[in-house]
Structure 1
Amino acid sequence: MPHILIVDDERDLAELIDFNLRAVGFSTRIAATGDAALVAAREQRADIILLDVMLPDMSGVEVCRQLRATPSTRDVPIVMLTAKSEEGDRVRGFEVGADDYVTKPFSVRELVLRLKAILRRGSTPQDAGSTLTLGPLSLDTTAHRFLVEGREVVLTALEFRLLEHLLSRVGRVQSRELLLEQVWGLSSHLETRTIDTHIMRLREKLGPARAYLETVRGVGYRIVEPGAA
């Protein structure tokens, strides 16, 4: 039974999420503060953490940063819950390792779909390990390491999956809808802006090789080798 840690100080909302997640077969735990969330995450490993940006004792962004800095919670998927006015916090959440976000007010059905998609990503059997290389880029899918010009660059689990998808399709444009379905595991009718934010963060991490990740206006993204015919 997948375990979801719900971190939100709005009691009514937290209980609504808790009720609906239990109804579809999840086990849950609620934490109303950042400190309580960090304790709960240590006491029982969650399959996903739902993390509100606005908490009474510390920001959700800081909670996310601490979770990512802790070995036992480093790879737990984190979904941020944000208000429409908190786009800056959402971006900062991605910067410290959040995997996805849901904007309040949200459909409980959409939330459940997103959580199930994340769980499917984690349970999908992976192909035999290999190393994808292109110019200065090297992605080792066995050791889960990414190097640029021989220097290791730390990626979140979702950034790694996104880069692996693009590197295995060099030169082929991937639409936002396709990425949402094949990388995120979500139906293409849902919000796609999160992809643009992840691409922006991924491009920054490519550093001197950022030109390899191209935006095709009005279509999507692709990995290319600059100067290649």
Structure 2
Amino acid sequence: MFRDESHEERRSEAEEIRFILDQQEKQTKRKDELAMPPTGYLVELSGQAISLDVIEFEILRFLSKRPYKPYTRRQIASAISTPHNPVEEGELDRHVMSLRGKLGQFSDYIQSVPYVGYRFKA
């Protein structure tokens, strides 16, 4: 049920997310800039670094892998939980609210899907 990823796997996934986000930016007229550097739990928004906690970063990383695909709270919690950092379904809304607060004007990247859960808006 739980996964334990190495630092290198997380770095590789962060690089993949950055590539996906770069491609999406090129395909849209949206001028927002969101980048996830391969090290640490930082997100760059229009050149400004924002520090996220581990769970917030993992939520953003997981959702951004498949833009517009809705995930249930259970799917998200299961995907981002580790033996060292378990995430309960009931805690997810609080983490998403905190993540949106840190994203500020870019909070619309994380969309609520009624009766389902959440998705990433590219």
Common fold, TM-score beyond 0.5?
yes
CA–CA distance in structure 2, aligned partners of residues 200 and 151 of structure 1: 20
Q: Does 1:152 align with 2:49?
A: yes
Q: Greater Rg, structure 1 or structure 2? A: 1
Matched AA of 1:202: L
Matched AA of 2:45: V
TM-aligned CA deviation for residue 123 of structure 1: 4.5
Q: What is the 5 A alignment of 1:1-229? A: 117=2, 120-121=3-4, 123=6, 126=9, 128=12, 130=15, 131-132=18-19, 133=21, 135-140=32-37, 142-144=38-40, 145-185=42-82, 191-225=88-122
Q: In 2 relative to 1, CA 151–122 (structure 1 residues): closer, same or farther, beyond 3 Å?
A: same
Higher helix share: 2
CA–CA distance in structure 1, aligned partners of residues 89 and 116 of structure 2: 12
CA–CA distance in structure 2, aligned partners of residues 168 and 205 of structure 1: 20
CA–CA distance in structure 2, aligned partners of residues 170 and 221 of structure 1: 11
Structure-2-length-normalised TM-score: 0.72
Q: In 2 relative to 1, CA 125–182 (structure 1 residues): closer, same or farther, beyond 3 Å?
A: farther
Q: In 2 relative to 1, CA 158–191 (structure 1 residues): closer, same or farther, beyond 3 Å?
A: closer
Matched AA of 1:182: A
SS in 2 for 1:222: strand
Q: Corresponding residue for 1:98?
A: none
Matched AA of 1:172: K
Structure 2's unaligned 5+ residue stretches are 26-31
CA–CA distance in structure 2, aligned partners of residues 166 and 191 of structure 1: 17
SS in 2 for 1:121: coil
SS in 2 for 1:160: helix
